Structure 1
Amino acid sequence: MKGEKMDYIIEVRNKGEAHAGAKAPDDIAEICRRRGMKSFVIPPMPFDKNLFYRQFVLLIESIKVWIHIAKTVKNGDRVIWQHPAPGVRYANRFIPWIKKRKKVEFIALIHDLETLRDGIGQQRKSTAIIADLKLLPRFDYVISHNKFMSEYLHSIGISSEKIVNLEIFDYLYNEPVPEIIRNNGKKVIVAGNLTREKSGYVYKLKELNVDMCLYGVNYEGDIPDDIYKGAFSPDELIQHLEGNFGLVWDGTSVEKCTGNTGAYLKYNNPHKTSLYLAANLPVIIWSQAAMADFVKRNNIGIVIDDLHHLSESLKGVSEKDYQEMQQNVRMIGKKIRQGYYFNTALDALK
């Protein structure tokens, strides 16, 4: 119908990989499609090519997408940007240009804030400053991870009236979830990027007498197959998980979360938390992580200061405690699998 308002999603096409990096934005795009939104597509970037070629492709594709957006949208339409997406410099120029000409609302859904990570390279830092400090304030609304990230956004000049908290990422999953066989088990699952730089703590868990299973890419250890289970795509992983709890931790230390990825847990919603809950698994999470508040409030796991205390904490979970946790996890897991949290955040912007 002519004149009818339309919502759009700027979709970044990803190549299938055995980690959650593509799962979150793909799920956001799918939820938007289910709501009847149309897509503007940024194609996959040729990361296997040299820098000059990548930048040239990014220039051409970004200009094509933004010209298409400018020609398509009309007064009253809304456009969702998944932040950060390729081409933040072009978005930073085109969004205000479009807003001057049409009454279009732009909404940013934050996946990551690179300005909160220490130790990134100079080029990435320059891009992060443009993305977070210049581009984000241009949006009419920003969907933040949680109250801690929202406080940071407010500190860089984004009005709290423009911010909505997501609470937790969804993890779309349409297959039956395998039943967890408890048998008073205490097996801990670690899923994600297992490189020593990001997850060095994993290689020290054996010393802590913890029964565990590892899943993910970049495994760098020498652990038997009964512990390391391999890498699977995000859509296949739930069917392969074997354990009773999912661990959310980052860095090289077992005493606290360290490094740029560890400190980042104080602000972000790790996608692995959503994976575990979608699989109906209670979580174990660092006490200083932003998501610890969500875990405690909903009684869906254990909050811990130091992994040296993990074995003792697991022993303290009675069968009754575990059943109560899992009952709560099932309720939240169902919402996560159906896209409840992003839908709720979008509905709050109406």
Structure 2
Amino acid sequence: MIVRKDKILRTHITNIYGQSSSSTAMIAQNMVTEVAKSLGFNEIGIYSYPIHTDTPQEIRKRIDGMLAGVSAHDVVIVQLPSWNGIEFDELFINKLLSYPGIKIAVFIHDVVPLMFENNYYLMQRSINLYNKAVTLIVPSKAMANRLKSEGLVMDHIVIQQLWDHVTSLMPAAPKFEPLINFAGSVTRFPFVKSWHNDTKLQVFSQYDEKNLNERVSYQGWLPDNEILRHLNRGFGLVWSENTKNQFEREYSKINLSYKLSTYLASGLPVIVNQGISNQKFIEDNNIGIVVPSLSEVDQRVKNITKAQYNDMAENVKRVGYLIRQGYFTKKILIDTMHQILSY
């Protein structure tokens, strides 16, 4: 709570519920909210439901209930998208703007029109929504530039740079081994099925089909702390491919990968595709290998010495500590509050 002249200014943050326990979108918002609560923010719960079963009036009533703890002159950080659709997000933001003196910051996790080709028609509505905020939190400078090219007029922008992955786990030093770990859907990342590299691939994902590739080992989906314990040798892979309706490779240049922080939190050096939005951070901190194609992975892994691997692992240890403690999220939330209160 912040005392400002004769007004009591309270801070709030939205948080989604009701999705699958393996939903990265929900996991990320829940994590940000827990960090925000440690800084004194109040939580506004938003539940995923089929909003098209409601009339606009019924949706407004739901939103009124969600915002029961919000008052005039408060600060609200809205994590978007809510995944209840652009119609819900518009009604939610517009309701907030009806409070006198309210200040809104939008924390962009994903931009749906840039994720899916057939949703690009929503781009202008998304930009209009972002422009209603006082401050915007974006994944990267590249994302800020892309949104400005689409019509964003916001000047108060906070760059996220990296996800946190808050956990009490204290990982041991990883084992140097020619093994690549990948946490991601086989359907969304089809390269897994056609993996032909000499280096073995260990996949943490649900997979019902029979595995005919001896170079790939499927471990199934594991809860958070369990997967972090399993990520204790080799490298963590962050890789994007373009598929029908989803230009993952292009999107990775402006967005952030949550799995990158999962690997770093567990202590693993990483292998990432060239062009990823935080490539410079990875290179500057010597915490992984950047390659232009999967065909180069084998040679790069074979050329790494144990001493070089341990050096990267030691650097990951330092970055991983910050990630596990939520320091990147704390910084962007504090920077956002500074911008809002100086507006």
Q: TM-score, normalised by structure 2?
A: 0.86
**Which of residues 236, 240, 249 in structure 2 aligns to 1:246?**
236
Q: What is the deviation of 1:209?
A: 0.9
Corresponding residue of 1:299: 286
**How far apart are the structure 2 equivalents of 1:9 and 1:218?**
35
Q: What is the deviation of 1:91?
A: 3.4
Name the aligned partner's letter for residue 12 of structure 2. Y
Give CA-to-partner distance per residue, 1:210-238, whole Å, 9 cap, x none: 12211113464514698111111234321
Q: What is the deviation of 1:252?
A: 6.7
Corresponding residue of 1:51: none
Q: What is the deviation of 1:22?
A: 2.3
Q: What is the deviation of 1:68?
A: 4.1
Q: Which runs of 5+ in 1 are unaligned?
A: 47-53
Corresponding residue of 2:44: 40
Name the aligned partner's letter for residue 135 of structure 1. L
Q: 1:69 to 1:231 in 2, by over 3 A?
A: closer
Contact 2:207 2:220 in 1 (8 A): no
Q: What is the deviation of 1:58?
A: 8.3
Which stretch shifts more, 276-285 or 94-103? Answer: 94-103
Give CA-to-partner distance per residue, 1:186-220, whole Å, 9 cap, x none: 2110111111xx21111222x22112211113464
Corresponding residue of 1:9: 13
Q: 1:309 to 1:90 in 2, by over 3 A?
A: closer
Corresponding residue of 1:50: none
Contact 2:200 2:216 in 1 (8 A): no
Q: 1:225 to 1:155 in 2, by over 3 A?
A: closer
**How far apart are the structure 2 equivalents of 1:12 and 1:129?**
24
The within-5 A match list for 1:1-350 is: 3-45=7-49, 54-57=51-54, 59=56, 62-68=59-65, 72-85=69-82, 86-96=84-94, 98-99=96-97, 101-120=99-118, 124-127=119-122, 129-130=124-125, 132-159=126-153, 161-182=155-176, 185-195=177-187, 198-205=188-195, 207-218=196-207, 220=209, 222=211, 223=213, 227-251=217-241, 260-349=247-336, 350=338
Contact 2:135 2:154 in 1 (8 A): no
**How far apart are the structure 2 equivalents of 1:173 and 1:60?**
41
Give CA-to-partner distance per residue, 1:55-91, whole Å, 9 cap, x none: 1248577423432466643343110111111253243
Contact 1:82 1:110 in 2 (8 A): yes
Give CA-to-partner distance per residue, 1:87-120, whole Å, 9 cap, x none: 5324324534543541111111111112223433
Contact 1:108 1:136 in 2 (8 A): yes
What secondary structure does 2:194 align onto? helix
Contact 1:9 1:38 in 2 (8 A): yes
Which stretch shifts more, 13-22 or 76-85? Answer: 13-22
**How far apart are the structure 2 equivalents of 1:14 and 1:158?**
31
Contact 1:145 1:167 in 2 (8 A): yes
Name the aligned partner's letter for residue 9 of structure 2. K
**How far apart are the structure 2 equivalents of 1:64 and 1:233?**
35
Q: How many residues are aligned here?
A: 330
Contact 1:177 1:279 in 2 (8 A): yes
RMSD: 2.7
Contact 1:214 1:229 in 2 (8 A): yes
Q: 1:221 to 1:242 in 2, by over 3 A?
A: farther
Contact 1:45 1:57 in 2 (8 A): no
Q: TM-score, normalised by structure 1?
A: 0.85
The structure that is strand-richer by fraction is 2
What secondary structure does 2:8 align onto? coil
Contact 1:266 1:288 in 2 (8 A): yes
Q: What is the deviation of 1:166?
A: 0.5
**How far apart are the structure 2 equivalents of 1:208 and 1:217?**
21
**How far apart are the structure 1 equivalents of 2:81 and 2:115?**
14
Q: What is the deviation of 1:156?
A: 2.4
Which stretch shifts more, 214-223 or 288-297? Answer: 214-223
What secondary structure does 1:341 align onto? helix
The structure that is helix-richer by fraction is 1
Q: Which runs of 5+ in 2 are unaligned?
A: 339-343
Q: What is the deviation of 1:322?
A: 1.3
What secondary structure does 1:269 align onto? coil
Give CA-to-partner distance per residue, 1:11-41, whole Å, 9 cap, x none: 2113452353321111011112222211221
Which stretch shifts more, 224-233 or 210-219? Answer: 224-233
Q: What is the deviation of 1:324?
A: 1.7
What secondary structure does 1:204 align onto? coil
